[in-house]
């Protein structure tokens, strides 16, 4: 999966698992009419924060040293 497809899939996941449930909760609680412009801005911030964290995790994995082979404890003696 290339980077663009991955980020598109991440955006879909974010919508399905984070943004939609928040919207439904908001509606169920009768918290009033949603400010569409404000909501768009908040969902953009949520998406960006999730993307940044995923990219940070990816880069940390890329920079990690490869782990060497370690024999099981019972075989070390």
pLDDT digits (tens, 9 = 90+) for 20-70: 888 887 777 776 656 666 677 778 888 899 999 999 998 888 888 777 777
- Please determine, for residue 77, whether its predicted confidence score (pLDDT) is greater than 60: no
The pLDDT assigned to 54 comes to 92
End-to-end CA gap in the chain? 44
Helix (H, G, I), strand (E, B) or coil at 11: helix
Q: Which residue from 24, 25, 18 is spatially nearest to 45, judged by alpha carbons?
A: 18
Tokens 């075989």 correspond to what residue? 75
**What φ, ψ does residue 40 adopt, rounded to 5°?**
-60, -40
Say what the pLDDT of residue 53 is.
92
Mean pLDDT along residues 66-76: 73
pLDDT of amino acid 32: 61
pLDDT at site 43:
81
pTM of the shown model:
0.61
Average pLDDT over residues 2-10: 84
């Amino acid at each position: 999966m290339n980077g663009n497809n991955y980020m598109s899939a991440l955006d879909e996941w974010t919508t399905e698992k984070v943004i939609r449930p928040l919207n439904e909760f908001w509606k169920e609680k009768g918290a009033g009419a949603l400010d569409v412009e404000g909501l768009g801005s908040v969902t953009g911030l949520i998406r960006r924060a999730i993307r940044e964290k995923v990219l940070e995790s990816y880069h940390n994995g890329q920079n990690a040293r490869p782990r060497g082979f370690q024999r099981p404890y019972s075989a070390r003696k």
